[in-house]
Amino acid sequence: MTDAALDLNHLRSWIGKTEEVSDIITPRLTAALRATLEALVMQAVLDDHYERYPQARPDLGDLAVAAAELDGHPLAGQPRRLRQAAAEITANHPDASPDDVLLWAEARTLPAA
Amino acid sequence: MTHLVILDYEAVQALQGPDHHKHRRVVSQAQVVASRKRRAVAIQMVVPTAVRVEAGWDRSSPAWGFPNRLRIADSPLDTASTNSAAAIRGRTGVSVADSHIGAVIHSASHHQITVVTSDPGDMRLVADDKNITVAAI
């Protein structure tokens, strides 16, 4: 009981006090925050769509091809090679990204040292 | 580095219809855009409004719920872009929708512009000397 009373007294000491905090917001920061929110919304919409239409869910090979096409990557015209790279990388790295696949596929095109 | 992704008529049609044979391809493009946004890459998907007209994309219609919710911005056919599109149409003879895509390409200040399209030839025609990436579907 004594402890509770002490806590209450401590809390009462906060009454009427204020704290001001300021920060700087820039167009770049607002754009980044907007992009973050948009990404979350887009992903939620896509996840919902995949749940309704499982056949629409792209696999890593599809995403690697899409990433290459969007970027105009030199391997964009070689979807079979990208899908093969995706299959290889997924075996050891299940969480690989499409960009990881592109990197791996690119490395595979280089001559062995 | 800023990246603009423009959808053409068939890309829009494919995105809207789960049964469209190119649906998964265009959804893959949208998924890559979403993943890059999450990594703070400045990338944006847009649809020229003349493309929306041609594709029948009515934002008030429930049938277009999926594309509506994907944060794909309208690129409106305002006075300046109408002039630009009219000149492109006069020069190339492509459709009104493709002329509007050309106007969007020419007015964009992004470092990279990608057009998701089933007609790479017409897109290169409307882009003229402007450097674009064509993602053929």
Segment A7-16, tens digit of pLDDT: 888 888 889 9
Place of tokens 């062995």: A112
Q: Are the beta carbons of B28 and A53 separated by less than 8 Å?
A: no
| The residue type at A62 | D
**Chain B residues within 8 A (CB-CB) of chain A?**
3, 5, 18, 23-25, 27-35, 37-38, 40-42, 66, 69-71, 112, 114, 116, 133-136
Query: Measured between alpha carbons, how far is A78 from A71 in angstroms, rounded to an integer?
Result: 14
pLDDT tens sequence across A71-102: 999 999 999 999 999 999 998 898 999 999 99
- The pLDDT of residue A112 is 62
Q: Are the beta carbons of A66 and B28 separated by less than 8 Å?
A: yes
Q: What is the ipTM of this complex?
A: 0.92
Task: Locate B72 and state its tokens.
Answer: 């794909």
The shortest CB-CB distance from A58 to any of B18, B28, B69 is to B28
Which contacts (CB < 8 Å, 24+ apart) does range B103-109 have? B103/B48, B103/B77, B104/B6, B104/B46, B104/B48, B104/B75, B105/B6, B105/B130, B105/B132, B106/B130, B107/B80, B107/B81, B108/B4, B109/B2
Helices (H), chain A: 2-12, 27-52, 60-71, 79-92, 98-109
Quick check: A27 pLDDT over 60?
yes
* Residue A70 CB-density burial (10 A; 0-12 exposed, 13-18 middle, 19+ buried): buried
Hey, how many other C-beta atoms are within 10 angstroms of the C-beta on B25? 21
Q: Nearest Cα to A70, choosing from B37, B112, B123, B46?
A: B112
- The pLDDT of residue A5 is 62
- The pLDDT of residue B103 is 98
CA distances in angstroms from B52 to A105, B71, B124, listed in the order given = 36, 14, 20
The shortest CB-CB distance from A66 to any of B3, B29, B70 is to B29
- The pLDDT of residue B41 is 86
Query: Measured between alpha carbons, how far is B87 from B41 in angstroms, rounded to an integer?
Result: 33
What residues of chain A lie within 8 A of the CB of B37, using their CB? 35-36, 38-39, 42
- Answer for the pair B8, A17: CB distance below 8 angstroms, yes or no: no
Half-sphere exposure (Cβ direction) of B100: Cα atoms closer than 13 Å = 23
pTM, two decimals, is 0.87
CATH dotted code for B8-136: 3.40.50.1010
Query: Measured between alpha carbons, how far is B83 from B43 in angstroms, rounded to an integer?
Result: 27
pLDDT tens sequence across B24-71: 999 999 999 999 998 888 899 999 999 999 999 999 999 999 999 999
Query: Measured between alpha carbons, how far is B82 from A32 in angstroms, rounded to an integer?
Result: 31
- The pLDDT of residue A3 is 57
Higher-confidence residue of A36 and B104: namely B104
- Answer for the pair B97, B45: CB distance below 8 angstroms, yes or no: no
